[in-house]
Amino acid sequence: MKLPRRKFLHLAAGAAALPAVSRRAWAQTYPSHSVRIVVGYPAGIAPDVTARLIAQSLSERLGQQVIVDNRPGAGSNIAAEAVVRAAPDGYTLLAMTVTNTINSTLYDNLSFNFISDIAPVAGTYRSPMILQVNPAFPAKTLPEFIAYAKANPGKINYASDGNGSSPHVVCELFKVTAGVDLVHVPYRGSYLPDLLSGQVQAAFSSPATTIAYIRVGQLRALGVTTMTRSKVLPDIPTVAEFVPGFEAYLWHGIGAPKNTPAEIIAKLNNEINAILADPNMKARLADLGGEPMSMAPAEVGKFIAEETQKWAKVIKLAGIKPG
């Protein structure tokens, strides 16, 4: 039977609209069961802590349990790959960090492309890193530190969590912009005991790791890496006050496998931004030395692209290789 042209076009238009209607209906019923946030770090450190704060609040808002799944290893690449390979249905999410943007250049054999294979969902947290020294170190201010480093090239040791870690690449950026020569000492475990004892002299660290030691005088903070001073350490200058243009963030966010429906990403983004606007959440993030990083998905994607490009330049200039 031959259909009249008008009826045929009407049916065809209706059929074409079905996928969009289906996606909207799917998003409206999402989630119908538990959601996982995969974290590429052990329990108890900053990316895990912020992921658990978000997961707890998301569970309450979505009416389904949001579970944190710790998958440490390979510089967080194991977790990222697990999410890349997951179904794009919104039930497997990634706790993203600045390390993911570093790894895009650091590792030349990754089986995925972070920018194209992970869909940005939301930002969650950002904080400065703190340049600190052992109190026995002769420099008491950042200008004094830079002057001492220039007068004693290659004689200051700085610690990091390992080759290509965020403390490593941030200090390499500092070396270039400040024009100093510091010696890198990578650690596989925590470098904090050696920094506290004076075995190593300096490090860029997260506030969550060292702020308690700074407050009691066991470490001396010289500068923070953000363009504005930290609310939790307002008396500590920014590095940029003495090294113009220097800026670096520790940041966390949430991503999903590519091709996750836009409606689901939008729903998660709205819920996470609402969580970040809550005064109690702001206070808990402040306890970690940071603040909410509320962004739309497109803004997160632009930010990730810029971070990837920025750290690629540092890694290539410094010749950094994985540890």
DSSP 115-139: HHHEEEEEEEEEE--EEEE-TTSS-
Q: What is the DSSP letter of 63?
A: S
| 115 and 260 housed in the same domain | yes
| 106 and 159 housed in the same domain | no
Q: CA 131, CA 170: separation in Å to the nearest integer?
A: 10
The side-by-side arrangement of strands in the sheet containing 183-186 is 183-186, 157-160, 202-205, 130-133, 220-224
The Cβ of residue 244 has, within 10 Å, a number of other Cβ atoms equal to: 8
Q: CA 202, CA 95: separation in Å to the nearest integer?
A: 29
Of 186, 219, 241, the position where a domain reaches its end is 241
| Listed residue (291, 310, 279, 309) closest to 123, CA to CA | 291
pLDDT at residue 7, rounded to an integer = 54
Of 207, 241, 275, the position where a domain reaches its end is 241
| 149 and 295 housed in the same domain | no
| Domain that includes residue 303, residue range | 33-126+250-318
pLDDT at residue 8, rounded to an integer = 46
The Cβ of residue 24 has, within 10 Å, a number of other Cβ atoms equal to: 12
Q: Tokens standing for 146?
A: 């830079």
The amino acid sitting at 157 is: N
Structural domains in the chain (count): 2
pLDDT at residue 188, rounded to an integer = 87
**Which of the residues in the chain have pLDDT under 50?**
1-3, 8, 20-21
